A and B are shown apart, each in its own frame.
Chain A
Amino acid sequence: MSFSAILSVALGAILAENFVLVKFLGICPFVGVSKKVDTALGMGAAVTAVMAIASLFCWLINAYVLVPLNLEFMQTIAYILIIASLVQFIEMFLQKVMPGLYLALGIYLPLITTNCAVLGVVLLNTQNDYNLLGSVIYGLTGGLGFTLAIIIFASLRERLDLTADYPEAFEGFPIALVTAGLLSLAFMGFSGLKIN
């Protein structure tokens, strides 16, 4: 992959094809863990790490185990097991090394396993036929895009709680979705971006 190709993958994953706002991947944690900017940042960091590392391992397993053995139909199941074990490992690591962050993320960590952004990125890596470097870059920048979106969204929601005036029926989830929709509209503006 050339440098410009990598740059264009990265820019796409962060802005124009943002995982959450444009591709609709990872909506659950996006809405669930975005009440406060701090936790949103932690969640974003954890998801980014898992997405990048999962991209690496899944690529290796696919290229050196599944493809040679003609077991491509086992991709989904293999990927999901890799992701589940990775999350378990990161959880144990955080518990020992950064107990503060572990407590803050609490119940959300196991949820990363069922975060469709993570499984989505490794499936798209395979579908798009990215090489090892491309996959890791796509995973990393996809995670950064998720982090960017969730932080913007969390800051919006913090303000929304304080000042906004909206119909009672929209309280909680619906107003969050409408806000996310407006944010996604803003991100659509990036779809003209292109690197030659």
Chain B
Amino acid sequence: MDKKKSGLFKPVIVLGLISLITAGALGCVNSVTQKPIAELTEHSRDNAMREVLPADSYVETSVSGVYSAVVGGESVGYVVETAPNGFGGAINLVTGIDVDKITVTGVAIISMTETANLGTNADKPEWRAQFAGLSQSAALSKDGGTIDALTGATITSRAIVDGVNGALRLVGEVS
């Protein structure tokens, strides 16, 4: 009887102990890395916003993900965060939109996990420049629009187009 018990209990206890120690170690590492990760995200978000629509500060609006860009106390437009799904997960995107709420001033990528040399080409300024000045919803040229898809990365290109259109929609909701 006793033997049976220990035969059942020992594996469970060992596995439990190993899991506990692992969890503890992970907690330690996490406490060290948490702050740099948060800072990095904040930093690249800030950079992306300044790139698409320079302003003194960005104030949250009633719609979540939409920020009003303020220069000298006056709103000069909006920056909108969207996260469309690309090829390797979500692409965190910032779209700058003029005060008229229809003209795109620029697009920048905060973070993405697309394939190197294919999807990551979306971050090239030349490609992103296609979005600036757009004053209607975006579409790829193969879907009848004006944006040329990245060669070999239709999924990524389409995701970013979707993200920009989502941003335009969100801005429309701001009163």
State yes or no: do A and B touch (Cβ within 8 Å): yes
What is A's interface to B at a CB cutoff of 8 Å? 12, 16-17, 23, 73-74, 77, 124, 127-129, 191-192, 194
Output the least CB separation between B24 and chain A (Å). 11
* Cβ contacts under 8 Å, B89 to chain A: 124, 127-128
Contacts of A127 in B (CB 8 A): 89-90, 113
Per a CB cutoff under 8 Å, which of A23, A74, A77, A191 touches B154?
A191
- How many Å from the CB of A20 to the closest CB on chain B? 15
Q: Determine whether the beta carbon of B26 is less than 8 Å from that of A129.
A: no
Q: Does A73 contact B83, Cβ atoms closer than 8 Å?
A: no
Inter-chain CA distance A129–B90, complex, in Å, is 8
A192 to B28 alpha-carbon distance, docked (Å): 46
Q: How far is the CB of A98 from chain B (nearest CB, A)?
A: 28
Q: Which B27-76 residues have a C-beta within 8 angstroms of A?
A: 30
What is the CB-to-nearest-CB distance from B99 to chain A, in angstroms, rounded to a whole number?
30
Which B residues touch A16, using CB under 8 A? 155
Which of B30, B85, B155, B158 has the most C-beta atoms of chain A within 10 angstroms of its own C-beta?
Answer: B85
Is the CB–CB distance between A74 and B155 below 8 Å? no
Complex interface: chain B residues within 8 A of A192 (CB): 142, 154
Q: Main SS of the interface on chain B? A: helix
The 8 Å CB contact of A191, one of B26, B30, B90, B155, is B155
10 A-B pairs besides A16-B155, A17-B87, A128-B85 with CB distance below 8 A are A17-B155, A23-B87, A23-B88, A73-B26, A77-B26, A127-B113, A128-B90, A129-B83, A129-B90, A194-B158
The answer for the CA separation of A124 and B85 in the assembled complex, in Å, is: 10
Contacts of B85 in A (CB 8 A): 128
A to B CB contacts below 8 Å, 11 in the list = A12-B155, A17-B155, A73-B26, A73-B30, A124-B89, A127-B90, A127-B113, A128-B85, A128-B90, A191-B154, A192-B142
Contact of B17 with A by CB under 8 A: no
Residues from chain A with Cβ under 8 Å of B113 in the complex: 127
